[in-house]
Amino acid sequence: SQQGEEDPQALSIQEGENATMNCSYKTSINNLQWYRQNSGRGLVHLILIRSNEREKHSGRLRVTLDTSKKSSSLLITASRAADTASYFCATAPGQAGTALIFGKGTTLSVSS
Partner 1 sequence: EAGVAQSPRYKIIEKRQSVAFWCNPISGHATLYWYQQILGQGPKLLIQFQNNGVVDDSQLPKDRFSAERLKGVDSTLKIQPAKLEDSAVYLCASSLVGRRRNTEAFFGQGTRLTVV
Contact 87, 34 (CB under 8 A): yes
Task: Map the footprint of partner 1 across residues 38-67, applying CB under 8 A.
Answer: 40-45, 48
Report which of 3, 8, 86, 78 is spatially closest to residue 46, judged by C-alpha positions. Answer: 86
Cis peptide upstream of residue 93 (ω within 30 degrees of 0) = no
> Which stretch, 14-22, 53-61, 64-72, 87-95, contacts partner 1 (CB under 8 A)?
87-95
Is residue 88 close enough to count as binding partner 1 by CB under 8 A?
yes
Pick 18 or 38: Cβ nearer partner 1: 38
Task: Give the other-Cβ count within 10 Å of 12's Cβ.
Answer: 13
> Which stretch, 54-62, 64-72, 75-83, 93-101, contacts partner 1 (CB under 8 A)?
93-101
Pick 2 or 14: Cβ nearer partner 1: 2
Pick 20 or 93: Cβ nearer partner 1: 93
Q: Kindly tell me which residue out of 30, 67, 77, 109 binds partner 1, with binding defined by CB under 8 A.
A: 30
Q: How far is the CB of 16 from partner 1 (least distance, A)?
A: 28
Report which of 20, 14, 18 is spatially closest to residue 89, judged by C-alpha positions. Answer: 20
Contact 87, 36 (CB under 8 A): yes
